[in-house]
Structure 1
Amino acid sequence: MSTVRNLSRVEVKAAVRRTIEGASDEIIRLARDVYEHPEPGFTEERTARVVAEALSHAGVNPETGIAITGMKGVRTFNGDGPTVGVIGELDAVKTPGHPGADLTTGAAHACGHHAQLGALIGAAIGLGVPEVVSTLSGRAAFIATPAEEFIDVGMRWGLRETGHLGLLSGKQEMIRLGAFDDVDMAMMIHTSSSKAQRRFVVGGTSNAHVVHYVKFIGKAAHAGGAPHQGVNALQAAMLALSAINAQRETFEAENQTRVHGIITHGGVATNAVPSEVVYEGRVRGRTMEAVDMISARVEDCYRAGALAIGADLEFVAIPGYLPLENNPDLARIFSENVTAEFGKDSLMTQADNVNAGGSTDMGDLSQIMPALHPYVAAADGTGHGVDYVIADYRRAVVDSAISMAMTVVDLLSDGASEACGVIDSHTPSLTRQGYLQSQAARLRNINYHGA
């Protein structure tokens, strides 16, 4: 017979807080270690090993290798109930010149994902106290997801072509593979540098987007001796980009449209007419309808550039992210815990329509289940910039771990009544199958001959 006694909710929270505080040096050290070894999406091999070892040490033995580098470990509590997902993101973004950048890949933690991983491990440690396990109901799934930053599109498309990926971001692919099938709701906390000096921010939304992978194909020739015998793919691309810029005045402000991209291959030699140019682009908007409308205009611009020069065009529209919908019940429970732990002045609540313009694959998850994506104001600098660094590791890692763990406690106490209430009051925008069908329908391949 077990001698572990059940605790009151107040006692459970005290035990969780005490345990996370006791592990604060450990989880901050893990976050700093990940910062020192940044890896871009779907290549986070070292990061995944570090996180898997830490989860195992916390008593959660994760399944690894999900969506290449992702993982999921589940802690089962004493009573029956729903499963709450706690998420951290594994990948770095490419920011050459950042003080923490990898000299080979240019990857750097200029978006603070390393802090998420420390918080993930902290929550796993805090929710592993035997008295806590015996008191709560349901399960907590600790999930490390790869490749939230939608970069290196050519590489990812190659992984898809060889059968290693189906969808090109971490959460998208983990949804496709069924890793979230037994998860009833999910949350994570992202770092931020500009949230009105409040410790945490809850609410708001994000843009949807579609990803464009475009090849302009011309004909090589000597750029000095016989340029008339070539077809300049770079000129075709530049005309297309000029046409896109000419469209910008037609973008309606309320759609919060963003069109941007990079040329990842512009030719091979200055004395040769470029025969192939590769462009990776993004069309963002507040709704999928807005994204689809602008995406169609942008596709016309690609064709116009190819037609004007006589180049060919290979174009792929790749399913990007869906808008974020923060669940109001999860937001309420999280907010109550933040203010209880850190004071009323520690929280800023944003209206649901506040949109900073970025995108996240947490948006995809929020369309199929209750989800929460608050921010912790713990960084200095500009996101994805060379100056973005965590200024307050305790806030980014320890306070975030406590806030998520306390939210799990509330959700899974008293027979998981709060979690059951969240599920009962939530109507997802899409079923999992509907989501996958929608993403499949958004994938398009177009070949165009401009000659």
Structure 2
Amino acid sequence: MTTTHNPPLDTELEAATTTATEAAVLTTVESLADELDAFSHDLHAHPEVGFYEFRTVRRVAELLARHGVTLETGVGGIPTAFRARAGSDEGPQVVITAEYDALPGVGHGCGHNVIAASSIGAFLALAPLLADGRLPGGVTLLGTPAEEGGGGKELLIQAGAFDGFDASVMVHPGELDAAAFVANAKRQVVATFRGKAAHAAGNPQLGRNALDAAVTAYQAVAQLRQHIVDTDRVHGVFVEGGTRPNIVPERAVLEFFLRSRTVDSILELSERVENAFRGAALAAGVEVDVVWDGEPIYLPYRLNRTLAERFVAHSEPRRDVVAVIEDTGQPAGSTDVGNVSQLLPTIQPSVAIGDRGIPGHSRERADSTLTPDGHRAIVDSSIALALTAADVLADDDVRAAAWAEFREAGEPVRVSDLVPVAPWPDFPIDPTTPEELS
């Protein structure tokens, strides 16, 4: 006689709940697909750079309002940061972050229009499940401006906007489907050399050449590159270099970005670069002011395989997603998502759009978001993000595993733990007139 081993009742119930959640999310996202794609196209047509995303935020508010959701703007004192909430303040909490700033000259060459549309899609897919109690806890849609250099997420961290969450999720367009990958720390520095002006032909001996110091500093940093690891990067430009050839330059300015894999290594690299600046100033007999972090530090991305694997599972069968692209020792970019990942379990999967080889930060990448691939990416990402967030809310084991993995990598790290926090920028005022709004 064959004995049938039925699964425990709670397992059956969990499976049924998961299936029902997935069906509800798919239905909602499919109903929103054209609206989300149109929103993405609208952002592409009206790109706004960091901290100037006023029109974009109004479009987000209009989209959410059509679905009964109120948007809070000015979060953390940042005019173009926004927040919407669904569910309860009690129980587990997930934050879905959205980026929406563009690049000067190339518009949405990093695909932030797709990011915003996908994050909104995931939020709207979860909202009804939270409203009627099918999912516990709450979800926050957090609009994070100025990722392209302004460090909106770091400023929002300092303002407390990321406190109290169990996970943070977001996608990013790229050429590969991957749930997690390496991202470097990034730090900015400006060195201002101050000398003494004199007639360059008549009495140059009375001058002290700030440009000479800047050139020496630039060369010293170039020589430093031979003696750093392959994954480190130091790249800079001359911002100022004098006014006329017949005047000994009394002022010259360099700006550099530094990138490295770890918190410790970015701080060590910073010290070596500053020594190059100060040594060059001493050699030229000029003064130098070295100012770090006019743009917030971007911390390295802390991988979370637990969440990455959930995203992979929820991407099937629509996409074949690699869980983690391991560190191969190749150079990598930077993102302020890294700052969030150092505080709580975080994923920022890459979603493939267009042909392989399309460079990031290009007009080709921007235009790829308008294709059927872009439409599909929004739909697929909204679904996988929503279902990953649902796992965090509904499954105690997923939350526990994600946090255990996070803590195994070390304690939470804040920029303020490492260096003095730089002053915040002066934010622009919305240039739109009341007549234009009416």
TM-score per shorter chain, which class? 0.7 to 0.9
**Worse-superposed segment, 378-387 or 240-249:** 378-387
**Worse-superposed segment, 348-357 or 15-24:** 348-357
Q: Which runs of 5+ in 1 are unaligned?
A: 1-5, 99-107, 151-167, 445-451
One-letter identity of the residue aligned with 2:277: Y
Q: Find the counterpart in structure 1 of residue 399 from structure 2.
A: 419
Describe the SS at the equivalent of 2:360.
coil
Matches within 5 A, 1:222-371: 222-223=199-200, 227-253=204-230, 256-269=231-244, 272-318=247-293, 320-339=297-316, 341-343=317-319, 346-354=320-328, 356-371=331-346
Describe the SS at the equivalent of 2:310.
helix
TM-score by length of 2: 0.82
Deviation at 1:15, TM superposition (A): 2.1
One-letter identity of the residue aligned with 1:75: A
Q: Distance in 2 between matches of 1:181 and 1:131?
A: 20
Indicate yes or no: 2:156 matched with 1:174: yes
Length, aligned pairs only = 397
Q: Distance in 2 between matches of 1:328 and 1:70?
A: 29
One-letter identity of the residue aligned with 1:71: F
Describe the SS at the equivalent of 1:262.
strand
Q: Distance in 2 between matches of 1:352 and 1:192?
A: 16
Describe the SS at the equivalent of 1:202.
coil
Q: Distance in 2 between matches of 1:292 and 1:372?
A: 25
Q: Find the counterpart in structure 1 of residue 173 from structure 2.
A: 191
Indicate yes or no: 2:190 matched with 1:213: yes
Describe the SS at the equivalent of 1:211.
strand
Deviation at 1:180, TM superposition (A): 0.8
One-letter identity of the residue aligned with 1:217: R
Question: For 1:171-214, what per-residue CA distance to the aligned partner results, in whole angstroms no more than 9, with x for missing partners?
Answer: 11111111011222101111113x2xxxx212222111222122
Q: Distance in 1 between matches of 2:360 and 2:321?
A: 21
**Worse-superposed segment, 178-187 or 403-412:** 403-412
Q: Find the counterpart in structure 2 of residue 81 from structure 1.
A: 91
C-alpha contact (below 8 Å) 1:201/1:350 kept by paired residues = yes
TM-score by length of 1: 0.80
Q: Find the counterpart in structure 1 of residue 80 from structure 2.
A: 69
Q: Distance in 2 between matches of 1:143 and 1:14?
A: 25
**Worse-superposed segment, 357-366 or 382-391:** 382-391
C-alpha contact (below 8 Å) 1:219/1:230 kept by paired residues = yes
Q: Distance in 2 between matches of 1:418 and 1:216?
A: 53
Q: Distance in 1 between matches of 2:306 and 2:53?
A: 33
C-alpha contact (below 8 Å) 2:122/2:382 kept by paired residues = yes
Structure with greater strand share of residues: 1
Give the one of 338, 354, 366 matched to 1:389: 366
Q: Find the counterpart in structure 2 of residue 93 from structure 1.
A: 103
Q: Which runs of 5+ in 2 are unaligned?
A: 1-13, 424-438
Task: Sort the Cα spacing of 1:423 and 1:288 in 2 relative to 1 into closer, same or farther, 3 A.
Answer: closer
Q: Find the counterpart in structure 1 of residue 49 from structure 2.
A: 40
Q: Find the counterpart in structure 1 of residue 20 from structure 2.
A: 11
